[in-house]
Amino acid sequence: MMRESVEDRVLESLRPTQFQLAMLTRLYGLIQTRLSTCPAVAGVGGRVEAVGSFAKGTLLSDKWEIDVFLLLEGVDDAWIEERARSLLYTCLHGLPVISKYSQHPYVTLAMMGMEADIVPAKLVSDPSQARGVERTPFHTRWVKERINPRLADEVRLLKSFLKGIGVYGAETARGGFSGYLAEVLTIGYNGFRGVLEEASRWRPPVIIDPHGAGDPEALARRYRDSPLVIPDPVDPGRNVGAAVTMRSLATFILAARTYLEAPGEWYFHTHQPTLPPVSRAPAVGVCLEGPMYTKPPQDVEGRLARLSSFLATKLGEAGFRVLHHGFSWDGGSRAVAYVLVESLTLPEIEALRGPEAWASVERVSRFIEKRLREGGSVWPQHGLLHGFRPRRIRSALEALGRALGMAPLPWGARVSRAFTCPGPGCEGWCGREVERGSDPTPAWIRLAYTRGRPPS
């Protein structure tokens, strides 16, 4: 059958190789040995545990990464915060370790193209007592108990699908599905197709409990702003879908439906083509420079997402019709945030609606006096006062410039220039990235509706 052959073909490229698994296993063995024989760890009492997709057997072929937890007994949060890092440095002495921090201290060990995140955490015995990263070992154990080789392949398909349509990852900048959520869904609905079939019938807010873990309705009342509510099987008072935004959920529902209608390889991240923009919206962008690579990628991207959203809000307030906003980061010291607008220039005058003609004399007079003072016009029409005034800020670039003073930049970054596309400043790396973003149609949508043929 055509449908299965798409998934079979894709799976070939998603499964890690034996060599890859052997290499990562050796790396884990090295870390495990170092930590469990380390006198400093023995001093406080600790245990080493592999977590994440490597541990669960759901690893993708392009991930040469492992996650390792050092679970420490009899320490408190302050101890972790202040002393865990130096403990790890001592135990891993001589290995290429760099220190990181994202709500919690951890280190990354990078060697031979592989990376291991090593996270110190309190040993907690009851999952309902666990907070933040402390939940990860419980999630890993829950999945390991339920996974089998067939389901592991199904998880790989779902994760690759989520990546392909741009909604994989629970970090703020993405607002998508975490790996654990993908596993909970795949196990709950017995495979990739089962999840898509469920999702194709979803209508937000989606309140589900495939494992009968808790009281999803009560949970929905607590997570009132979440479009996706699903109790965490290891801690039913938590919502595993808390990070998923409406945009991500809507994208997933849409992609599930179109995929089931006509499957295609281009939904999966390993087969994602980069299409040239077909149509372009005008854009204003701001080019940033600075040592952003020294911060955890999640934090930099979260900040860039906030920046583009902030600029979009300000442009909207200035009267521009905002279509989309986004950012790009080269992982190093260059980033760009941009906003797509219907037009880079606003009309000379600005139409305004006033109060009803029979509103309080104060409100009516305020509207009339303002318009006349501004050199504008005002008149009754139907029941309302209408008016217009000369517009002060007509250029999107000027509006962006004014907003930049208050804008949240990533740490260490500074504005190198603001520009428009089209425009004389639309050049270099920043210009190219904005031009690429100026057609916001995702590649999978174009391909789904051209039956896999790239548009001419």
**Residues near a copy of itself (CB under 8 A):** 202-204, 227, 246-247, 249-251, 253-254, 257, 261, 278-279, 281-282, 321, 323-324, 342-343, 347-351, 356-358, 361, 364-365, 368-369, 371-372, 375-386, 388-390, 439-442, 445-446, 449-450, 455
Cis status, amide bond into 205, omega within 30 of 0: yes
> Please, what is the minimum distance in Å from the beta carbon of residue 414 to a copy of itself?
30
Please say which residue, 33 or 365, places its beta carbon nearer to a copy of itself.
Answer: 365
Q: Which residues contact 131 (CB under 8 A, 6 or more apart)?
A: none
Q: Are strands 206-207 and 228-229 parallel, antiparallel or unpaired?
A: parallel
Q: Which residues contact 265 (CB under 8 A, 6 or more apart)?
A: 6, 9, 10, 271, 452
> Please, what is the minimum distance in Å from the beta carbon of residue 45 to a copy of itself?
49
Please say which residue, 204 or 428, places its beta carbon nearer to a copy of itself.
Answer: 204
Please say which residue, 89 or 388, places its beta carbon nearer to a copy of itself.
Answer: 388
**How many angstroms from the chain centroid is the CA of residue 328?**
13
Please say which residue, 218 or 372, places its beta carbon nearer to a copy of itself.
Answer: 372
Please say which residue, 32 or 377, places its beta carbon nearer to a copy of itself.
Answer: 377
> Please, what is the minimum distance in Å from the beta carbon of residue 343 to a copy of itself?
3
79 and 120 Cβ atoms separated by less than 8 Å: no
Strand 97-101: give its sheet, edge to edge: 46-51, 65-72, 114-122, 105-111, 97-101
Nearest 5°: the CA angle 411, 315, 244 is 60
> Please, what is the minimum distance in Å from the beta carbon of residue 436 to a copy of itself?
13
Please say which residue, 333 or 377, places its beta carbon nearer to a copy of itself.
Answer: 377
Please say which residue, 4 or 356, places its beta carbon nearer to a copy of itself.
Answer: 356
> Please, what is the minimum distance in Å from the beta carbon of residue 420 to a copy of itself?
13
Strands (E), 282-425: 283-289, 322-329, 334-341, 349-356, 377-381, 384-390, 414-421
The token pair that represents 44 in the structure block: 């406080």
Please say which residue, 21 or 445, places its beta carbon nearer to a copy of itself.
Answer: 445
Please say which residue, 42 or 351, places its beta carbon nearer to a copy of itself.
Answer: 351
> Please, what is the minimum distance in Å from the beta carbon of residue 454 to a copy of itself?
12
Q: Where do runs of H (alpha helix) occur along 122-215?
A: 136-146, 149-164, 179-188, 192-199
> Please, what is the minimum distance in Å from the beta carbon of residue 40 to a copy of itself?
50
Nearest 5°: the CA angle 97, 101, 103 is 150
The token pair that represents 144 in the structure block: 């390991």
105 and 120 Cβ atoms separated by less than 8 Å: yes
> Please, what is the minimum distance in Å from the beta carbon of residue 346 to a copy of itself?
8
Between the CA of residue 148 and those of 144, 151, 183, what are the distances in Å?
Answer: 8, 5, 12
Exposed e or buried b for every residue in 166-178, given b needs 16+ CB within 10 A?
A: bbbbbbebbbbbb
Between the CA of residue 290 and those of 217, 300, 304, 428, 429, what are the distances in Å?
Answer: 46, 11, 13, 17, 15
> Please, what is the minimum distance in Å from the beta carbon of residue 390 to a copy of itself?
7
Please say which residue, 213 or 399, places its beta carbon nearer to a copy of itself.
Answer: 399
23 membership: H or E segment, kind and range:
helix 18-36
> Please, what is the minimum distance in Å from the beta carbon of residue 366 to a copy of itself?
11
Please say which residue, 203 or 224, places its beta carbon nearer to a copy of itself.
Answer: 203
101 membership: H or E segment, kind and range:
strand 97-101
Nearest 5°: the CA angle 53, 165, 63 is 30
Q: Residue 341: which of 364, 317, 325, 328 has the closest Cα?
A: 325
> Please, what is the minimum distance in Å from the beta carbon of residue 362 to a copy of itself?
11
